[in-house]
Amino acid sequence: PAASYQITVVVHIIMDDNCNVGSLSDDLVHNQIQVLNEDFQAIKGSSGEPGSDAKIQFVLATTDPDGNPTTGITRSCNTSWYNDNGGYYNDLAWDPSRYMNIYTNSGDGSLGYVPFLPANANGSLVGTNADRVVIGHTYFAANTGNHTNFDLGRTATHEVGHFLGLEHTFTNSGGCPSQGTPNCYSDGDLICDTNAELSPNFSSCNDTENDCGELKPIHNYMNYSYDPCMWEFTTEQIRRMRCTLESYRTDLYT
Ligand code: ARG
Ligand code: ZN
């Protein structure tokens, strides 16, 4: 395995027809890339510091698919695309096997999403135009003042976790997931070192809540906690993400 994986990113900003709703500055894009780096590398002095270093780096593309210089940011004005309709990715995607395509638009009513189950990271969508990360523009980047509790750019951290093969910590099959090895690799979030969880932690950052006899993993990026409460990928989640790159996304990193 590589010591460190560097992923090249293109951010496609989709606005309404008037190029107004959904507009985001280059500075905000740079800020979001910085947050991803802080969170995936647990950079000292950042709010991601308490976590663990996944040794995954993100850099905006400097060369486009035609080999021309680029800022790694594209902008489109199309209300249908802004509303998350119309297969915009078939027009906009940069070779998804080589670039991680992030789109910002309305987010289709959610904070963000990745359009397929991470457990199927080896599924047929990988490398197709539909292979992408979508972030609602008001949840993109840190300190935008749009949402008090979702204002640290961690929606993208969570979504990139999905993109790299992680399930939610609260994924379960209708009850407390199996906690002993090897069943914890076939049940729940398919990760053994995240505590079992029955339902999402939506809000509070209360370290005493428990599910299934274990403390809820409220600090995990793959929970639904408020941004300031999230700062952790576990050792096994980090392994899963690095394995996803090695196994299914081999052209995505250098
Ligand atoms: N609900 C979204 C998803 O499941 C994102 C949740 C992000 N949470 C946050 N604190 N930013 O993918
Ligand atoms: Zn999620």
Confidence at residue 63, expressed as pLDDT on a 0 to 100 scale: 98
Q: Is the pLDDT of residue 159 over 70?
A: yes
- 106-117 tens-digit pLDDT: 999 999 999 876
User: What percent of the residues of the chain are helix, what percent strand, and what percent coil, each to the nearest 5?
Assistant: 25, 15, 55
Centre of ligand 1 from the C-alpha of residue 19, in Å: 26
Residue nearest to atom 4 of ligand 1 (CA): 113
Cα dihedral: 139, 145, 149, 153 (round 10): 40
Q: Is the pLDDT of residue 123 over 60?
A: yes
Q: State the alpha helices, DSSP H only, in 65-174.
A: 79-82, 88-92, 154-163
Please give the Cα distance from 161 to 180 (Å, whole number): 24
Tokens (6 digits) for 180? 């002993």
How confident is the model over 22-33, as a mean pLDDT? 98
Mean pLDDT of the chain: 94
250: number of Cβ within 10 Å: 10
Q: Which atom of ligand 1 is nearest to the CA of 113?
A: 12
Contact present, 141 and 35 (Cβ < 8 Å): yes
Please give the Cα distance from 216 to 107 (Å, whole number): 28
Ligand 1: which of 39, 144, 224, 231 to mutate, judged by most atoms within 8 Å of the beta carbon?
A: 224
CA 228 to the chain's CA centroid: 16
Centre of ligand 2 from the C-alpha of residue 68, in Å: 34
Q: Which of 24-38, 111-125, 129-143, 221-235 has the lowest mean pLDDT?
A: 111-125
Tokens (6 digits) for 50? 């308490």
Radius of gyration of the chain from its Cα atoms, rounded to whole angstroms: 18
Confidence at residue 206, expressed as pLDDT on a 0 to 100 scale: 87
Q: How many CA atoms lie within 13 A of 64 on its CB side?
A: 12
Confidence at residue 202, expressed as pLDDT on a 0 to 100 scale: 87
DSSP-assigned letters across all residues of 173-214: SSSPPP-STTGGGTSTTS-SSSPP-SS---S---TT-EETTE
State yes or no: ipTM above 0.90: yes
* Residues listed for the chain: 254
Active site (annotated) includes residue 209: no
Confidence at residue 121, expressed as pLDDT on a 0 to 100 scale: 59
Confidence at residue 120, expressed as pLDDT on a 0 to 100 scale: 55
144: number of Cβ within 10 Å: 18
AA identity, residue 243: C
DSSP strand pairing (133-136 vs 112-113): antiparallel
Confidence at residue 1, expressed as pLDDT on a 0 to 100 scale: 67
Q: 102 pairs with which residues across the strands?
A: 11, 133
- Residues in contact with 34: Cβ distance below 8 Å, sequence separation at least 6, in sequence order: none
Whether residue 170 has its Cβ less than 6 Å from ligand 1: no
pLDDT band at 74 (very low <50, low <70, confident <90, very high): very high
Please give the Cα distance from 92 to 86 (Å, whole number): 11
Q: Which atom of ligand 1 is nearest to the CA of 227?
A: 10
Please give the Cα distance from 139 to 112 (Å, whole number): 8
Nearest to 92 by CA among 103, 100, 80: 103
Confidence at residue 119, expressed as pLDDT on a 0 to 100 scale: 54
211: number of Cβ within 10 Å: 19
Q: Which of 2-16, 75-89, 120-134, 149-163 has the lowest mean pLDDT?
A: 120-134
- 163-222 tens-digit pLDDT: 999 999 999 877 888 888 888 888 899 999 999 999 998 878 988 889 999 999 999 999
Residue bearing tokens 């500075």: 27
